[in-house]
Structure formats: C-alpha cells, structure tokens
Homo-oligomer: A and B are copies of this chain.
Amino acid sequence: MREIIIGVDLGATKILYGVATIKGEIIYSNIIPTHSEKGIEYILGKMTKAIKGLIKDYENTNKIKAIVIVTPGPLSYPEGVVINSPNLCWDNVALRDEMQKEFSYPLLVEKDTNAAALGEYYFGQDSKYRNLIYITVSTGVGAGIIINGKLYRGISGGAGEIGHMVVEPNGAVCQCGRQGCLEALASGTAIAREGGTKGAKEIGDSARQGDKEALRIINSAGDYLAIGIGNLVNIFNPEAIILGGGVMQGLKDLWLDKLRQQVYSSAFPLNTRKLQIDVTKLGDNIGLYGCVAVIIDQENKR
C-alpha cells in the first residue's frame, strides 16, 4: 500500500489540510477558515474533524504513516507546546498532546516556518543546498534554518525567529515589545501600518502605478529586509536564502532584484560567493510539502 501523510497547516486566518504521499505527491488538499476568534477548543475540534474525515477516506486503501500539524510559533520542542503565539493569540497550548489523544496514528507538530524550510529543502530545491534559510514574509517575518541537511531548532524549538532581530533600535514598536524588529519594519503588517487604510497588496499596486508614498513604503520595507538578510548571510554563510510568504510573493517584482543586489553588495564577499537568493516555487501548498518533509527529516538520522 502507498504510504501517505495527513498534513494540516494551521494559520491565523485559514487551515490548509490534505493528503500527500511520502514522496511529496499531493493527493488531496482543502482550505477552511480558522476563525481564531472562536478560541482554542473550536480550532482543535475543527482540525480533529478534518483529520478524521481524511482517515476515513484514505485508511482502507493507503498506509497512513503519520499525521503532521504545522502551526505558527513559538512552539516548544520537543514538547510541542505553543507558547505565547501572537498570531494565534494562544499561550501554553499543548498542541501535540491535545491532538495526539484523538488519534492512534503517530502525530507530529512542527513550527510552520520550520516545516516550510524542510519542504523547500527536500521538494523545492531537491536537497541541493545543505545550508539553507527559508524566510517567510507575510503578516509576520520568520525563518526556518537547515544546517547540514537537517532542521535546526535550537535547544527549545525557538530558532529561526529572525523577525525579532532588531535592526533599528528606535524604530517602530513590535508586537513582541521591542522596537525596530525586522517584523515591525518589513512585514505585511508593517507595510499596512505605514499605508494607513490600505493593505500591503494595494500599496504594492499603487507603487507599481508610480505613487510616490507607496513606493517609499515598499522600498523602506524592502531595504530593511535586505539589511536583515545581509545580516543572516554574514552570520550563516548559507548556500541559499529562499523567500516565501504572501507578501514576498506579491511584491516579488518590486523587491527581488534590488534585494539581491543589496545583499550581494553589502555582505562579505566570501559569504556571497556561493549564495543563491530566490523565491519559493512551491506556492500555497508549501505547508503540505512541509508536513511530508517533517517526516523525512525525522527519519534522516544524519
């Protein structure tokens, strides 16, 4: 029987869930709204129901290897507890244990950026960059770090919080309480804050039409992103920086070329010698690829 993974990508606004083979072939996927305002029990119940439906549909004709849930962080490792998550407004939710008790199949929980980095490593880039940083720019800014072909989580699961790298100590106040975090300067939220009533997408549209204020906002956020990425290049000397997230994908035409140029010209020459900077090609399904990749990473004992 075919080995499959049931994957759930829990986001603040929507839940992507589906079924994929262990080789990364997506068999089924669906999106439902999260309604995070309805609270923890509601969301856990919704995920449980979705997973049970998939089990019913697939368990007779496939071997279900595991259920993988990816969630916004911070997520403690190895406990699988969501700690003080600004996106979900959850604190101390024992996500892994709560969900595992509903199912007899092995259930893994991973931070969304970590899973996306693994998805990108295995499926987006075909394992060719053994030191890769995946950066998401959406509502927030975060990263997943692959070192020597394995996910790096740090000692408690907190690694990759690059959105909370301060790059402007007197800059805008961040949700985390500090000032001038990359997330407070370069995220979709930061762009929207500067733009008044408009969202990041509309500000991007105005910038393309030559609106000077919109261009200033987009360029400022892009410049901070370049500073943050330049910092990471000097710290990690990675082979690849892969960018994703809705805001990044939406502003790719305005950001990517300039960002590459700024990073290549400002970081240490030794550190950019073998550096690739690119935008993910996995699209919206990166969360499901990530679920599969979490299992591959776990089985990779290297």
A: interface residue count bin = 35 or more
Copies in the complex: 2
A110 to chain B, nearest CB (A): 15
- Nearest residue (CB) in B for A265 is B177
- Across the interface, A154 reaches (CB within 8 A) one of B74, B161, B176, B271, namely B271
| 20 residue pairs bridging A and B, Cβ less than 8 Å apart | A74-B271, A83-B270, A154-B237, A155-B274, A155-B275, A156-B271, A156-B273, A156-B274, A158-B237, A158-B271, A159-B271, A162-B235, A164-B267, A165-B231, A165-B235, A167-B169, A169-B223, A178-B230, A231-B231, A232-B235
Q: A157-B237, A227-B166, A231-B165 are in contact. Are A74 and B147 (CB under 8 A)?
A: no
Interfacial chain B residues near A152, Cβ < 8 Å: 147
Q: Is A239 an interface residue (CB 8 A)?
A: yes
A226 to chain B, nearest CB (A): 10
Q: Is A202 an interface residue (CB 8 A)?
A: no
Q: A162-B234, A231-B165, A234-B158 are in contact. Are A176 and B268 (CB under 8 A)?
A: yes
State the A residues within 8 Å of B (CB).
74, 76, 83-84, 130-131, 143, 145, 147, 152-162, 164-169, 176-178, 223-224, 227, 230-232, 234-239, 266-271, 273-275
